[in-house]
Amino acid sequence: MSTGAGKRLENRVRTLESIIKDQRSSLNLGSLLDSVTALALDLNHPALRKNKNIDSFLNRYEKAVTRLKELQVKLDDFDRVKLIGRGAFGAVQLVRHKASQQVYAMKQLSKFEMVKRSDSAFFWEERDIMAFSKSPWIVQLCCAFQDEKYLYLVMEFMPGGDLVTLTSNYDIPEEWAQFYTAEVVLALDAIHSLGFIHRDIKPDNMLLDRNGHLKLADFGTCMKMDSSRMVRCDTAVGTPDYISPEVLMSQGGTGYYGRECDWWSVGVFIYELLVGDTPFYAESLVGTYGKIMDHKNSLTFPDDIEMSKKAKDLICAFLSDREVRLGRSGVDEIKCHPFFKNDQWTFDTIRDTMAPVVPKLSSDIDTSNFDDDIKDDPLGTETFPPPRAFAGNQLPFVGFTYFREDQLLNQNNKCSEEDSSAESVNEDHNLNQAESCDLQRRLKKLEEKVKHEIQAKEELENKCRTANQRLEKLSKELEEEVNARQAVEDSLRELEREKALLTHQRSQSIRKAGLETDRKRLLENEVSSLKEQLAELKKKNQNSQISAEKNIHLERQLEEMNAKLQAEVEESERLKKAQGEALRQSQQLDISLREFQERLAQLESSRQGLEQEKLSLQTSLQVEKRERSLGSETINDLQGRVSGLEDELKHIKSSLSKAEAEKRQLQEDLTALEKEKSKQEIDLFFKLKAIQQSLEQEEAELKATKARLADNNKINQSVEEAKSEDLKNMEHKLLEDRSAKQQLENRLMQLEKENSVLDCDYKQAKHELQELRSLKEKLTGEMEVLSVRVQQETQKKTLFQADLSVQRQEISTLRSSEKQFKQELNHLLELKLSLEKQNQELRREREEADKQLKELKDQLEAEQYFTKLYKTQIRELKEDSDEKAKLYKDALQRIEDLQEERDSLATQLEVSLTKADAEELARSIAEEQYSDLEKEKIMKELEIKDVIARHRQELSEKDSTISSLEESNRTLTVDVGNLANEKEELNNQLKHLQHKLDKSREKEKQMKSLILSFEKQIESERTLKSQAINKLAEVMKKTDVRPQQGNNTDIRRKEKENRQLQLQLRTEKEKLNSTIIKYQKEINEMQATLAEESQGRLEMQMALDSKDSDIERLRCQLTSLSIHSLDTTSISSTGNDLEGDDAYPGIYLSIYLSIYFV
């Protein structure tokens, strides 16, 4: 017990130590130190120090925090050289570390700005990408620290500048654009593989190292992707000329896009390299955004610039809609594009090739490739205001501190190391070749020995593989049956979904047909009323020209209404036809559904519960349909529906609270029972120890009696002979008892193995305590009646077997009760999840209803506004007509009367038309909303059924896997003993090989240093040989070179020199390729031998570790069993005090408790 507890404590300490040392852990050493510093800074204010607890805390830790600030990395450890960049949230400075004299780029960010602009500033993402990425295409972070006002990111310095300066100094040909685009693609793939989207790809964020290769920087706009490789954001982040349409549309809404937005920016980057300007540039920001949204028409290529068809095709593939954009399916389709095909490099070797432009550097702080016009203004001095209460301004930055080991504060200069190693390579080359040959011979011998050991290990593993093969066969058969059943269930669910949709469409078409007939009747009534009005007007206005014009106007309106009526009639006929087709389709689907139902007659028994739920949902659906059909015309009915949904939501919340209360009560009962169980087990353990002590005392008394008998035997030989015969008989009986006891112990061990697999819950603990108490009472009774143990032997055996059978039955009942309890818990969890989903759906429906109410209110307000306008116009017309009537009152009295009648009729007609249009519009909107809600409800019901079926299937699969794992566990425990013996043999062999492997490690290190020297030599030769061609290309492409002056002789002379240089380069390249091939072969051979040796050693070590863990676990059990077996043998060896079979229950009890507590 003490050794096991000590090991557990040691393991806990080790895990805690690993968590603190892990840089990726949220509880690493830097995070803990940051938390103490941040808490001290946030509490150190006069208003907060009035609290006694805060004041005592600061008095205790204030000095320690100041000491911690002095010891940690700070701004005073660096000398500022120059400002090389400025961004939206901070500035980048070139600095030199005082201790190591190394040069770095340090980014300074204001904490106040980070908190203020938390929606667009992603400093955690920038820190994690540079800190934990090992890609050569991403700028590496050396360390990160902070003070009270600012955050600092110390990064590797990129002396080549950005691509903006490169494009301003050179005319970029298509070959260069091909090279830099390929490196950008690889860098973006590295960021996407980390699970981030950059969202601000542009030449300003593409930096060049001292060799001219590209690296991405400025990850302040990066965002973490979710499980579906997508991002949700409601703000448009990025540079306007490079932003994609989907990111632009996310402004003010809920943007949902993926990594394809970065590939859009790559297309803009290629266009800018080849053309010299961005494709959607405009004088205003609105114009740029308009061109981006209309990219299909606004993307053009200038005629005066030569560009290949491959480049145009790549740009068009990137600058397209997100659904068809290149790179949406992965980076492999970009790599396969014909634009990247060339003879000089591939995507795997591009990092090792010579860059088109290698920057010329005069020193390690050369900033000639950066912009010199950056104003060296200080950052914003705005800080957090002094708080009146605890604000926690420093808490968002806890854990920001980071330090890369062996990167910063390295006193040895890397450049000097590289120079010294390059000088010593040529001197030690011959010696290293001889040593490498000798090492190869020794490695081959070791390889053969390791192969023999691997063969022996494989023979041991075959035993485990046979068991795994059996399990795989059974699992395959089970999966085939489950897949077949699932396919049939899926087809049935699809048919049910189609049937439900068709029934919904049929009901909608029937309802629309009824509405169309009602509309037709209304139109016919209106036409008849208009005809009557027209007839009356014709009678009144026979002698006036004005009445004739009115009649013409009314006739036109009548014709328009007739045309509308005809269109409505045609629409109703079309709907009737569609209804007939839907009925036919539904009949066909019913036939096919019946066929499937006949095939699935065997599965219907498991689906009866779902069918009942379906019927209940359908009845509730029909009730809701009736309620909604009554309230689809007016806004008041919609408000009533919202209130009903709110009542249902309250009911669901109350039911959820009840379910959670029941769950808490069950958990409290479970914890109480577990505590009671642990107390009873401890009491039992101490009682068992007391019994063992009493047995040991009796054993000591037995030994004393034996000693007395030995003394008496010397005195009386006759008595000795008689007693020797008695002792022989007793020993014979003891041997028989021991054999029977061994059989019972083996049987008990099997039973204990089965019981150890089961989870001992609170019911089983109570039952076992009762059994142990009964066993204790039996033991006390049997100790008193030792004289009749021979006669009671058979009776005790039968009683023991009966106890075992009773125990098995009780175990089975406990298993069934445990399963029922688990099923009840799962059922409660499922109910909770379903209620939460219904709650969310009701909230969504309520929000949609609120939106619809707002829209309808807006429409009503608009209609009221128009009616007011019409009324004002009518009033103005009436005033004009009154003025004219006063002037022509005597002459035109009859015309005035007719005009008043006409105005009244016109106003009535306009009012009726506006009312009809408004009612028709509101009715159509309500019908569409109703139909959409019906479809959504049907789809949600079908989804709920699919989820329920899936959950039940997963439960059945988990039960089957649990049973299969239990069987495999029983079979594998038998093989553990054999593996223990084999492990001892392997340990002896490994000890023999360990000494040889240590020697091989030292030689392996020598070989690695030799390989590194060869690689450096190859790189130096490669750069020297290819520098001439790149130098010539760089000079030819320079834009600021003056036009050549001279005659034809100078040109010819230069052409001859060029040819000679090309011939020299060819010869040097051939020599270089031959040496590279030779060295590469040697390196590959050495690496292969080393890899094989290390792989074999790792496999052997893993096998030994696994066997060590198994043997250690079994050793604890064997020690406890051996102790208790010795106790039982000593008890059984007593002739006059204790019988063997009487000790069996005690043995059973001791073995059980030893295994349980181990």
Give the DSSP per-residue string, 719-774.
HHHHHHHHHHHHHHHHHHHHHHHHHHHHHHHHHHHHHHHS---HHHHHHHHHHHHH
Q: ∠ CA(366), CA(370), CA(375), 5° rounding?
A: 110
- CA distances in angstroms from 295 to 112, 114, 243, 256, listed in the order given: 39, 34, 12, 20
Q: What is residue 1082's predicted lDDT score, i.e. its pLDDT?
A: 73
pLDDT higher than 70, residue 634? no
How many CB atoms within 10 Å of residue 13?
10
pLDDT digits (tens, 9 = 90+) for 527-578: 777 777 777 766 766 655 565 566 677 667 767 777 776 776 677 677 767 6
Share of the chain above pLDDT 70, in %: 52
**Closest Cα partner for 334 from 268, 247, 278, 267?**
267
Three-state DSSP class for residue 612: helix
Two tokens, residue 550: 């009115």
- Mean of the pLDDT values across residues 1062-1075? 68
- pLDDT score recorded for residue 504: 73
Which range of 345-359, 362-376, 468-482, 1110-1124 scores highest in mean pLDDT? It is 345-359
User: How many residues in the chain?
Assistant: 1158
Q: Which two tokens stand for residue 368?
A: 């000639």
If we measure between CA atoms, which residue out of 975, 1114, 974 comes closest to residue 460?
A: 975
Question: If DSSP codes are grouped into helix, strand and coil, which group holds residue 650?
Answer: helix
Confidence of residue 755 (pLDDT cuts 50, 70, 90): low
Within 8 A by CB and 6+ apart from 110, the residues are: 89, 90, 149, 150, 151, 379, 380, 382
Residue of 851 and 238 predicted with greater confidence: 238
Cα 10 to chain centroid, rounded = 32
Confidence of residue 430 (pLDDT cuts 50, 70, 90): very low
β-strand partners of 403 = 143
Which pLDDT score is estimated for 1118?
Answer: 63
pLDDT at residue 103, as a whole number: 95
- What separation in angstroms does the CA of 429 have from each of 205, 683, 1007? 42, 76, 12
Q: From the candidates 42, 200, 262, 1127, which is the catalytic residue?
A: 200
Q: List pLDDT tens digits, range 638-692.
A: 566 656 656 666 666 666 667 667 667 766 776 666 666 666 666 666 666 666 6
Task: Please list, in sequence order, all residues whose beta carbon lies within 8 angstroms of the beta carbon of residue 1149, skipping any fewer than 6 positions away.
Answer: 688, 772, 775
Q: What mean pLDDT do residues 1035-1041 have?
A: 52
DSSP one-letter string for 33-91: HHHHHHHHHHH-STTTTTSHHHHHHHHHHHHHHHHHHHHS--GGGEEEEEEEEE-SSEE
How far apart CA 509 and CA 497 sit, in angstroms, is: 18
Contact 1108, 983 (CB under 8 A): yes
Q: Which residue, chain included where needed, has tokens 């997963």?
A: 954
Q: In the predicted model, is pLDDT for residue 1069 greater than 70? A: no
- Token pair for 1125: 């077996």
DSSP result, 530-591: HHHHHHHHHHHTSS-HHHHHHHHHHHHHHHHHHHHHHHHHHHHHHHHHHHHHHHHHHHHHHH
Please tell me the predicted confidence (pLDDT) of residue 486. 75
**pLDDT value for 439:** 60
Q: How does pLDDT run across 922-969, given as a tens digit for each residue?
A: 667 767 777 777 777 777 777 777 777 777 777 777 777 777 666 766
Query: How many Cα atoms within 13 Å fall on the side-chain side of residue 1090?
Result: 19
Q: What angle do CA 1138, 1143, 1149 make, to 5 degrees?
A: 150
Q: Is there a binding annotation on residue 741?
A: no
**Distance between CA atoms of 855 and 638, rounded to whole angstroms?**
12
Query: In which band, very low, low, confident or very high, does the pLDDT at 210 lie, cut at 50, 70 and 90?
Result: very high
Q: Which residues of 910-921 are buried (b: 16+ CB within 10 A; e: fewer)?
A: eeeeeeeebeee
d(CA 846, CA 843): 5
Active site residue 419: no
Among 406, 405, 402, 395, which Cα is nearest to 25's? 402
Q: In angstroms, how far is the first alpha carbon of the chain from the final one? A: 7
Confidence of residue 790 (pLDDT cuts 50, 70, 90): low
Alpha-carbon distance of 725 to 129, in angstroms, equals: 88
Residues 6 or more apart whose CB falls under 8 angstroms from that of 631 comprise: 637, 638, 640, 641
pLDDT at position 1039 is 46
Element (H, E) at 413: none
Predicted pLDDT at 293? 92
What pLDDT digit, counting tens, does each position of 819-843 carry? 776 676 677 677 767 767 776 777 7
Binned at pLDDT 50, 70 and 90, residue 1146 comes out as very low
Percentages helix, strand, coil for the chain, rounded to the nearest 5? Answer: 75, 5, 20
Per cent of the chain over pLDDT 90 is 17
Token digits of residue 940 = 């949600």
Q: Which two tokens stand for residue 15?
A: 């895990």
How would residue 1077 be classed by pLDDT, with cut points 50, 70 and 90? confident
Which tokens go with 1104? 């030994």
CB atoms within 10 A of CB 327: 24
pLDDT of residue 30: 84
pLDDT bin (cut points 50, 70, 90) of residue 1153 is very low
pLDDT number for residue 476 = 73
Looking at residue 316, its pLDDT comes to 95
pTM: 0.42
C-alpha distances in Å from residue 306, one per residue of 238, 274, 1014 = 30, 9, 43
DSSP 696-713: HHHHHHHHHHHHHHHHHH
pLDDT category at 1139 given cuts 50, 70, 90 is very low
CB contact set of 1104 (below 8 Å; sequence gap of 6+): 983, 986, 987, 990
Average pLDDT over residues 7-32: 85
